[in-house]
Amino acid sequence: MAPATKALYKQVFPVKSDLESAGKVSTEVRRILRSLGVEPEVVRRAGIVCFEGEMNIALYTKGGRIILIVRDDRVELLFSDRGPGIADIDLVKQPGYSTAPDWARELGFGAGMGIPNMEANSDRFAMYSRVGVGTVIRATIFRRCHETCGGNRAPGT
């Protein structure tokens, strides 16, 4: 893994277990990235990753937080929550697998695409979870990806 460059910007956003405000962090993250002059395609991908992660925290957990770190060469989004945790991570990475309750589906979410979509829009994606404790996700999106990694995916991921 290439050494990370110095953080140009860092902010921590609390995320409540509350649907009413879900999505606010993502739109704020988008505005921050734009104001920092981050490339539009990176802003777009980061916005999607952040929104999916934020919805997951709001819909399924007891609350958590999102940390945005902007570096010269990458945007990092760190998601953490206070449970309930995920027993089988391979399963939630499968498109269509969902534990969403009916009420979430009625709102237009919970189709089992959130985690796969986060992974698809990230260059690096790591997820750790412990049942009863919580889940942590680190999603990295490279800037000027064409120069540094020659494609959507970083080497070795």
Q: Which residues bind another protein (CB under 8 A)?
A: 19-20, 22-24, 26-27, 30, 44, 47-48, 50-52, 55, 94-95, 107-114, 116-117, 119-120
CB of 28 to another protein, least distance (A): 11
- Please give the angle made by the CA atoms of 44, 49 and 50, to the nearest 5 degrees: 95
Q: Which of 61, 58, 55 is nearest to 130 (CA)?
A: 61
Q: Is 114:105 a contact under the CB 8 Å cutoff?
A: no
Six token digits for residue 96: 């269509």
19 or 136: whose CB is closer to another protein? 19
Whichever of 31 and 130 has its CB closer to another protein, that residue is 31
Q: Which residue has the tokens 């997951």?
A: 56
CA angle 23, 126, 115 (to 5 degrees): 45
Minimum CB–partner distance for residue 121 and another protein (Å):
9
Residue 119 CB, shortest distance to another protein, in Å, is 6
Tell me the DSSP string of 92-117.
Answer: HTSTT-----HHHHHTT--SS-HHHH
Q: Which is nearer to another protein, 36 or 133 (CB)?
A: 36
Residue 55: φ, ψ to 5°? -60, -40
CA angle 45, 125, 39 (to 5 degrees): 25
Of 101 and 133, which CB lies nearer to another protein in the complex structure?
A: 101
Between residues 94 and 99, which has the closer beta carbon with respect to another protein?
94
Smallest gap from Cβ 40 to another protein, in A, equals 8
Least CB distance to another protein at residue 120 (A): 4
